[in-house]
Amino acid sequence: MKLREQFLTSIRDVKSNGFTAPGVIPSGKNKAMVQYESIPERDMAYFLEFSVGVKRFVEQPVKIDYTSPRGKPAHYTPDFLAYFSDNLGPDKIKPTLFEVKTREILKKNWHELKPKFMAAIRYCDTKGWRFKIITEVELNTPYVENAKFLVPYMRKTPSIGLIENVMDALHELEDHATPAHIIKIAANDFYRKAALIPALWFLVATRFIGCELDKPLTMDSPVWYIKS
């Protein structure tokens, strides 16, 4: 069986329960819209879409049967399943089932949630997967903010002329480049400068231009050429 045939797909549509904020984001990795039902889930979707080690991810991927604290049969659907790249060397990461919850909700509802999570761990053991809980601690970071900013720029490839214009300016600046400096020397015309900005962020988002993604990204952030 080919690897692409082993990918799961979403088992149900995400709907609001009156307390959530559902929505969708376009995913180039999945070539489809990815659904989410809360702001933390949206941020996790951006994180997975932006992370180079993630090959593909699926929202609402599996239904896991378990026994509720009241002793009744129930089922649980985790938020995401991520498949990782084969090019990560000896430390290849197993497919990972993610649950996204705030710490407040975890603490408040732990008695109800713990049986679900234990069932998910057992289920993952049978599949050779991992189970991981993600909270705002992992999501409220500059990296995720940068991912939310950059992912939209990945959706439209700029013209070769714009890309070459940005890269020529970057090479000219060498070790002293920032987005602001690149745009300043790349063009004199206002409209050309405006066209170059999306091209520059596309090159940053697609890792042709490097930057410190763990720090807030601005027009004054240091950037550099990444050799392929």
pLDDT above 90 as % of the chain: 82
Are residue 93 and residue 159 in the same domain, yes or no?
no
Structural domains of the chain, count: 2
Contact criterion met (CB below 8 Å) for 152 and 205? no
Mean pLDDT, all residues of the chain: 91
Rounded to 5°, angle at Cα 122 from 121 and 124 = 65
Are residue 75 and residue 102 in the same domain, yes or no?
yes
Residue located via tokens 């000896």: 90
* 82 HSE (CA, 13 A, CB side): 27
Query: Tell me, what's the pLDDT at 3?
Result: 40
Query: Tell me, what's the pLDDT at 81?
Result: 97
Are residue 16 and residue 115 in the same domain, yes or no?
yes
Are residue 148 and residue 35 in the same domain, yes or no?
no
Q: How far is it, in rounded angstroms, from Cα 9 to Cα 219?
A: 38
Are residue 136 and residue 147 in the same domain, yes or no?
no
Digit-coded pLDDT (tens) for 86-103: 765 656 789 999 999 999
Confidence of residue 176 (pLDDT cuts 50, 70, 90): confident
Exposure b/e, 154-174, CB count within 10 A at least 16 = b: beeebeeebbebbbebbeebe
Q: How far is it, in rounded angstroms, from Cα 95 to Cα 6?
A: 11
Residue 67 clears pLDDT 60, i.e. is over it: yes
- The boundaries of the domain holding residue 179 are 143-225
Mention every residue, 6+ apart, whose C-beta is less than 8 A from residue 1. Answer: none
Are residue 148 and residue 215 in the same domain, yes or no?
yes
- Which range is least confidently modeled, 16-20, 140-144, 172-176, 218-222? 16-20
Dump the DSSP string for 179-221.
HHHHHHHH-SSHHHHHHHHHHHHHHHHTTSEEE-TTS---TTS
Which of 140, 155, 179 is the endpoint of a domain? 140
Query: Tell me, what's the pLDDT at 225?
Result: 92
Which of 22 and 142 is assigned the larger pLDDT?
142
Are residue 180 and residue 95 in the same domain, yes or no?
no
Are residue 131 and residue 151 in the same domain, yes or no?
no
Query: Tell me, what's the pLDDT at 190?
Result: 95
Q: How far is it, in rounded angstroms, from Cα 148 to Cα 159?
A: 23
Digit-coded pLDDT (tens) for 126-173: 999 999 999 999 999 999 999 999 999 999 999 999 999 999 999 999
Which of 102, 118, 140 is the endpoint of a domain? 140
Are residue 78 and residue 127 in the same domain, yes or no?
yes
Contact criterion met (CB below 8 Å) for 223 and 217? no
Digit-coded pLDDT (tens) for 103-126: 999 999 999 999 999 999 999 999
Are residue 19 and residue 44 in the same domain, yes or no?
yes
The single-letter DSSP state of residue 163 is: H
Contact criterion met (CB below 8 Å) for 142 and 98? no
Confidence of residue 175 (pLDDT cuts 50, 70, 90): confident
Secondary structure in 3-state letters for 9-35: CCCCCCCCCCCCCCEEEEECCCCEEEE
Q: How far is it, in rounded angstroms, from Cα 174 to Cα 182?
A: 10
Are residue 25 and residue 95 in the same domain, yes or no?
yes
Query: For the domain that residue 130 is a member of, what is the CATH number?
Result: 3.40.1350.10
Which of 109, 140, 171 is the endpoint of a domain? 140
Are residue 135 and residue 161 in the same domain, yes or no?
no
